[in-house]
Amino acid sequence: MRRVGAHTPGRRPLQEAETRGADLVQIFLSNPQGWRKPEPRHDADALREAPIPIYVHAPYLINVCADDNKVRIPSRRILQETCDAAADIAAKAVIVHGGHVTGPGPQEDGIDRWRKALESLDTIVPVLIENTAGGDKAVARRVEWIARLWGEIGDLGVGFVLDTCHSWAGGEPFDELVERTLAATGRIDLVHANDSKDPFDSRRDRHENLGRGMIPPEDLARVIVGAGAPVVVETPGEAAGQAADIAWVRARL
C-alpha cells in the first residue's frame, strides 16, 4: 500500500497525522527560515516508537551551492544538525532543496559543491534532494541538470523528492516526467503532491490544494501515481484542506 500523508505543524505531529487520516507525516525540527540548531524534543521517545514514518524537511535557507561561504558553510552545518536531530527521533529521511549557484560562477560549481557537502556529512538518516521551482543557476530545477547532478553524487546514496508544484512552476513538462526523472536519478523516494497557484514556468513556488490550481488534474494524478513512491501533501487549508487532498490522492491510487 502506498502511504499518503502531509506536512503538518511540528508540535504534535502524531496527533496532526491522526486528524488528517495520514499514513505518514513530514515536519520541520527548527525554524524553516532560520539557522538555529534544532532543540531536543520532549516527545522524542514517542516519535521514535511512532507507528507511521516521520520525514523531516530541512530549513529553506540551506543552499550548499552558494558562492558565498557565509551561506554555504552554515548550510552544511545546519544540514548536519538537522540530520542529527532527525536521527534522534528515528526519522525516515531528511529532505533538502537542491539549491542554486548565487554568484558569477558556472552552474556546474553547484554540482561540485553538492558532492563536497555530502562527503562531509556524517549521518545514518538518508538525505533526499528535492527539485526546485526557481533559481537561474539551480542544479535541481530541470531534469537535464538533475541528471548531471546525479552523475556526480549518485554513488553517495542520496535520494530524490519529486515536487509536482516545483516541476510545473520550474517549467518542466509533465509529459513522461516520471520516466525522465527515473532515467536521471534511478529513483524517486518521495512525492510532494502539490497543485500550483501560478502558470507553467512561472518560477513561483506557491502551493494550491489538489485539483484547484493550474496543473491539469489528469497530469497531476498521472505523475503522482506513476512515481510509485510515498506521497506528502504540502497544501493549504490546515487539517481539513490536507485531509481532502489526502483523499484526492488515495482515490487516484
Q: Is residue 165 assigned to a domain?
A: yes
pLDDT at 36 over 90: yes
| Strand pairing category for 207-208 and 195-196 | antiparallel
Q: What is the mean pLDDT of residues 234-238?
A: 97
Which residues are registered as beta bridge partners of 7? 26
Q: Is residue 182 assigned to a domain?
A: yes
Percent of the chain residues past pLDDT 70, beyond the cut: 100
Q: Is residue 220 assigned to a domain?
A: yes
Q: For residue 211, give every residue at least 6 positions away whose Cβ sits within 8 Å of its Cβ, in sequence order, or none.
A: 195, 217, 220, 248
Q: Is residue 50 assigned to a domain?
A: yes
Q: Is residue 168 assigned to a domain?
A: yes
- Structural domain span for residue 23: 4-231
Q: Is residue 248 assigned to a domain?
A: no
User: Residue 169: which CATH number?
Assistant: 3.20.20.150
| Strand pairing category for 54-57 and 93-97 | parallel
Q: What is the mean pLDDT of residues 209-231?
A: 98
| pLDDT score, position 251 | 98
174 CB burial (10 A radius; 0-12, 13-18, 19+): middle
List pLDDT tens digits, range 11-29: 999 999 999 999 999 999 9
Percent of the chain residues past pLDDT 90, beyond the cut: 98
pLDDT at 1 over 90: no
Show the 3-state SS of the chain.
CCCEEEECCCCCHHHHHHHHCCCCEEECCCCCCCCCCCCCCCCHHHHHCCCCCEEEECCCCCCCCCCCHHHHHHHHHHHHHHHHHHHHCCCCEEEEECCECCCCCCCHHHHHHHHHHHHHCCCCCCEEEECCCCCCCECCCCHHHHHHHHHHHHHHCCEEEEEHHHHHHCCCCCCCHHHHHHHHHCCCCEEEECEECCCCCCCCCCEECCCCCCCCHHHHHHHHHHHCCCEEECCCCHHHHHHHHHHHHHHHC
| pLDDT score, position 128 | 98
Residue for grid cell 520516466: 179
Q: What is the mean pLDDT of residues 150-178?
A: 97
| pLDDT score, position 115 | 98
Contact in structure between 158 and 95 (CB atoms under 8 Å):
no
pLDDT at 207 over 90: yes
| pLDDT score, position 19 | 98
Structurally, the chain folds into a number of domains equal to 1
Q: Is residue 252 assigned to a domain?
A: no
Q: Is residue 251 assigned to a domain?
A: no
For residue 152, which amino acid is it? E
Average pLDDT, the chain: 97
| pLDDT score, position 135 | 84
What would the grid cell of residue 249 be?
A: 490522492
| pLDDT score, position 197 | 98
pLDDT at 62 over 90: yes
pLDDT at 148 over 90: yes
List pLDDT tens digits, range 121-144: 999 999 999 999 998 899 999 999
| pLDDT score, position 94 | 99
